[in-house]
Amino acid sequence: MSTIVLNSSVDIPLPDWLKKCITHSKTSNGNAESDRRFNDANLICRAFEFAYQLHQGQYRKSGEPYICHPVAVAGLLYDLGGSPAMIAAGFLHDVVEDTDITIEQIGELFGAEVRQLVEGVTKLSKINFKSKTESQAENFRRMFLAMAQDIRVIVVKLADRLHNMRTLQVMPDEKRRRIAQETRDIFAPLANRLGIWHFKWELEDLSFKYLEPDAFRQIQQHVSEKRTSREEKLAKATATLRDRLQQASIKCLDISGRPKHLYSIYQKMQRQQKEFHEIYDLAALRIIVETNEECYRALAIVHDAFRPIPGRFKDYIGLPKPNRYQSLHTGVIGLTGRPLEVQIRTMEMHHIAEYGIAAHWKYKETGNSNNSHLSTTDEKFTWLRQLLEWQSDLKDAQEYLDSVKDNLFEDDVYVFTPKGDVIPLSPGSTSIDFAYHIHTEVGNHCAGAKVNGRMVPLSTRLQNGDIVEIMTQKNSHPSLDWLNFVRTSAAKYRIKQWYKRSRREENVARGRELLEKELGKTGFDSLLKSDAMQSVAEKCNYHSVEDLLAGLGYGEITLNLVLNRWREVVKAQQPLAVVQPFLPKESAAANKALRDAPATSRASDSPIVGVEGLVYHLAGCCTPIPGEPIIGVVTRGKGISIHRQGCHNLECVEYERLVPVGWNPAAEHSSRPHTYPVNIQIEALDRVGVLKDILSRLSDQGINVRYAQVKTAIGQPALMDLGIDIRDRPQLEQVFVQIKKMSDILNIRRIGQIDE
């Protein structure tokens, strides 16, 4: 590192690679290679100086100048072999969000390529993955669309996230945990899927540090204590293998030990339910040779020098991982009698293992650093193409999230066709998943399956190396039962599509039955014909209510999603205020509009608006009355239950089951006003006639008493539980005032009263 001053009094520490770019930007020898270097370095330096000036006066939480962050991000991209445009985007990725510069100005100053990268990263920065299912699914869609336009966008974002994780210690604990959780759930798996192991392990370890700090410190301490002993054992094994490889005339480019990162050790402890001292393979030996053939020859030497452990050999050269990772893995018993993992690969494989897709830029045969754009048509991005294909097909948010999990966050299982073709499937896949992967018609007419030459149930989970043969019959067709065990989103989607086309009437009836069970039979036919239900269908991307019922019947859309859309429509037509934690506070204005609306605007004489045509009942736990804010809860088989807001029984109710409702002023002022049961408890001095006096006062106010129960004890006040019928909250308050005026009354309260 050195220090220079750029038109400013602030000294900026510069890494060596940036110093080299500054040097190249000032010299050009006139030949093509020199001119290319000059132009590349000039772009990088202009981006750095531009970001430096814009971020001047801005500081990070740690107190260091903000420009240190873009410099670090650009450095990570430089180390990955990123193009000048990527490195420039690393410098500029925060300027649109943190300064007054527009994305159009970025394009004018640095070109369309840099603009596209900066714009993509800026959009990704606004995504919040910790949200409701539907919002989270939409955020994933946006992220994958950005990746499809240019895969380098997510690489810049990963570099940004990695440096933020390195400096996370200055953040408040709650924010640290939130960012760490998002990193472990989203960005570390992305780095793994893109094959950038160099990023993946550090993102996982840093997340581990903040999410399980005690476990992190313990494992870190254990690893540190055993480092000397472990290095001595690895040195002996390394010397033994180096000699044996040399004797076999195999050119060993490198052989070295690699400690396993802390989070992988923790995962193994959790998976195997073992303590740290029971985990032996804390490091791996890596052997790098020149050719694929020498990899297998080296494997034979390793197995000859050490005793192999059965079941621990994996050939990722013949069957590469989806992220292009290739290597031979084997477990052996080392010189000290402890397990030792050995990895064997070529130098090209090693570069791909460390840098993933970035190896395309850093270690390509052409040496042309400008050829850095990767297309999603490349075989290595099959998983991304599949996700993009489901974008428009999968309407259900949870189903789309499941497809994301299938393609992004889990490694594949490899099975074979009878002809020996390799088919990658999600872990837990069945013969039905295999059939639909081959062809839709093979899946639709599947009648049975053989695995390794034996007939098996269609629900049998496939394992690595299984040879699968599908038997078809012309008259066979999918069964809805298949949805209970198929694993891949592709198979689920195609099964539902078949039912959508071939059994519409049956699906409509099934969808109607499901919806009627939730909303109740009373007024259901009228509800289906209403404009509100048509709006629900359109919100769910269907042309008609019948199409919606058909989709619900064959499982294209979930019942919860339909109910959510119905609540949105009801809320829009009957806007009501609901206080936290149930609905946003912004609806307060809408509530006032409802109160101020003329009585003739109410749809019916029902005491409750928002449940027209539906079965409902007042909850007995809190006995709501007019004048008190209320909320509806969808129940199973009993319609809508009306509660007072703040009722303790609502604390564990899912947000999706809540329905905005309110009192109907037209019903309150009708000629025959409704009354509502309220239970009260009165504490009074125990004397003869006290209950009679209380009942007399209630009678004077026209209050009906449904029941009265008195509890007395020697030397104690009398407790009287009364059930009374009340019109509204003001009348109840008047009752309390009149009873409290009696000299013998010690206390009066409403049973089931909610703490204010």
Tokens of 409: 């966050």
pLDDT per residue as tens digits for the range 528-543: 888 888 888 888 888 8
Q: 409 versus 629: which is more confidently predicted? A: 629
Question: How far apart, in whole angstroms, are the C-alpha atoms of residue 526 and residue 546?
Answer: 14
Q: pLDDT at position 134, please?
A: 52
Q: pLDDT at position 296, please?
A: 94
Pick the CATH number of 380-502 from 3.10.20.30, 3.80.30.20, 3.30.465.10, 3.20.20.70: 3.10.20.30
Does 141 score more than 80 pLDDT?
no
Q: pLDDT at position 292, please?
A: 92
Residue 645: CB partners within 8 Å, gap ≥ 6? 578, 579, 582, 628, 629, 630, 631
Does 58 score more than 90 pLDDT?
no
Q: pLDDT at position 72, please?
A: 93
Catalytic residue among 35, 98, 104, 304: 98
Report CA torsion sign: 211, 216, 217, 220: negative
* Segment of 25-34, 139-148, 375-384, 606-615 carrying the highest mean pLDDT: 606-615
User: Comparing 220-362 with 676-750, is the CATH topology the same?
Assistant: no
**Minimum mean pLDDT range among 19-23, 423-427, 586-590, 694-698:** 586-590
**Minimum mean pLDDT range among 88-97, 199-208, 320-329, 726-735:** 320-329
Does 136 score more than 80 pLDDT?
no
Ramachandran region, residue 111 (left: φ > 0; alpha: ψ -120 to 50; beta: rest): left
Contacts for 516-525: CB closer than 8 Å, 24+ residues apart? 517/636, 517/637, 518/559, 518/563, 518/634, 518/636, 519/566, 519/614, 519/639, 520/614, 520/615, 520/639, 521/615, 522/613, 522/614, 522/615, 522/639, 523/612, 523/613, 523/614, 524/613
Q: pLDDT at position 671, please?
A: 55
Q: pLDDT at position 40, please?
A: 82
Q: What is the DSSP string of 543-564?
A: SSHHHHHHHHHTTSS-HHHHHH
**Minimum mean pLDDT range among 22-36, 166-180, 241-255, 655-669:** 22-36
Q: pLDDT at position 498, please?
A: 83
pLDDT per residue as tens digits for the range 581-608: 333 333 333 343 334 433 333 445 678 8
Catalytic residue among 64, 97, 104, 225: 97
Residue 746: CB partners within 8 Å, gap ≥ 6? 683, 684, 685, 717
**Minimum mean pLDDT range among 43-47, 355-359, 507-511, 553-557:** 355-359
Give CA separation, 29 vs 20, 36, 368, in Å: 16, 11, 19
Pick the CATH number of 676-750 from 3.30.70.260, 1.10.3720.10, 3.30.565.10, 3.30.70.20: 3.30.70.260
Whose CA is closest to 121, among 83, 100, 150, 99?
150
Q: pLDDT at position 369, please?
A: 38
Q: pLDDT at position 83, please?
A: 86
Residue 517: CB partners within 8 Å, gap ≥ 6? 636, 637
Residue 127 phi, psi (nearest 5): -85, 130
Report CA torsion sign: 10, 15, 18, 20: positive
Question: How far apart, in whole angstroms, are the C-alpha atoms of residue 733 and residue 628?
Answer: 12
Question: How far apart, in whole angstroms, are the C-alpha atoms of residue 580 and residue 279?
Answer: 49
Q: pLDDT at position 270, please?
A: 83
Q: Where are the beta strands (DSSP E) in 132-247?
A: none
Does 565 score more than 60 pLDDT?
yes
Report CA torsion sign: 666, 668, 674, 678: positive
Q: 270 versus 612: which is more confidently predicted? A: 270
Pick the CATH number of 220-362 from 3.40.50.300, 3.40.50.2300, 3.30.460.10, 3.30.70.100: 3.30.460.10
Does 397 score more than 90 pLDDT?
no
Question: How far apart, in whole angstroms, are the C-alpha atoms of residue 115 and residue 150?
Answer: 12
Reported confidence tier of residue 386, pLDDT bands at 50, 70, 90: low
Q: Please name the amino acid found at residue 451.
A: V
Is residue 742 a contact partner of residue 712, using CB atoms and an 8 Å limit? no
Question: How far apart, in whole angstroms, are the C-alpha atoms of residue 259 and residue 475?
Answer: 57
Question: How far apart, in whole angstroms, are the C-alpha atoms of residue 654 and residue 80?
Answer: 45
Count of other CB atoms within 10 angstroms of residue 376? 18
Residue-averaged pLDDT of the chain: 79
Does 439 score more than 50 pLDDT?
yes
Does 393 score more than 70 pLDDT?
no
Does 206 score more than 90 pLDDT?
yes
Label each residue of 629-693 as H, E or C: CEEEEECCCCCEEEEECCCHHHCCCCHHHEECCEECHHHHCCCCCCCEEEEEEEEECCCCCHHHH
Does 573 score more than 70 pLDDT?
no
Q: How does strand 12-14 pair with strand 2-4?
A: antiparallel
**Minimum mean pLDDT range among 43-47, 143-147, 297-301, 600-604:** 600-604
Q: pLDDT at position 576, please?
A: 41
Does 176 score more than 70 pLDDT?
yes
Kindly state the percentage of the chain with pLDDT values over 90: 16
Residue 548: CB partners within 8 Å, gap ≥ 6? 511, 533, 536, 537, 540, 542, 557, 562
Query: Is 108 one of the annotated active-site residues of the chain?
Result: no
Q: pLDDT at position 362, please?
A: 53
Is residue 429 a contact partner of residue 487, using CB atoms and an 8 Å limit? yes
Q: pLDDT at position 431, please?
A: 93
The mean pLDDT of 104-116, rounded to a whole number, is 90
Reported confidence tier of residue 28, pLDDT bands at 50, 70, 90: low
Q: pLDDT at position 383, please?
A: 53
Does 724 score more than 80 pLDDT?
yes
Ranges of H-type helices in 370-428: 382-393, 397-408
Q: pLDDT at position 29, please?
A: 63
Q: How does strand 283-289 pair with strand 339-346?
A: parallel
Residue 464: CB partners within 8 Å, gap ≥ 6? 413, 414, 415
Does 9 score more than 60 pLDDT?
no
Give me the residue spans of the domains in the chain.
2-211, 220-362, 380-502, 504-668, 676-750
Ranges of H-type helices in 150-187: 152-166, 173-182
Q: How does strand 468-472 pair with strand 608-609?
A: unpaired
Query: Is 755 one of the annotated active-site residues of the chain?
Result: no
Residue 248 phi, psi (nearest 5): -90, 5
SS3 131: coil
The mean pLDDT of 194-200, rounded to a whole number, is 83
Reported confidence tier of residue 359, pLDDT bands at 50, 70, 90: low
Count of other CB atoms within 10 angstroms of residue 450? 15
Q: How does strand 616-618 pair with strand 468-472?
A: unpaired
Helix (H) or strand (E) run with residue 427 in it: none
Residue 353: CB partners within 8 Å, gap ≥ 6? 195, 197, 325, 326, 327, 345
Q: pLDDT at position 599, please?
A: 38
Reported confidence tier of residue 552, pLDDT bands at 50, 70, 90: confident
pTM of the model: 0.55
Q: pLDDT at position 538, please?
A: 86
Report CA torsion sign: 562, 564, 566, 568: negative
The mean pLDDT of 203-226, rounded to a whole number, is 88
CATH code of the region 2-211: 1.10.3210.10
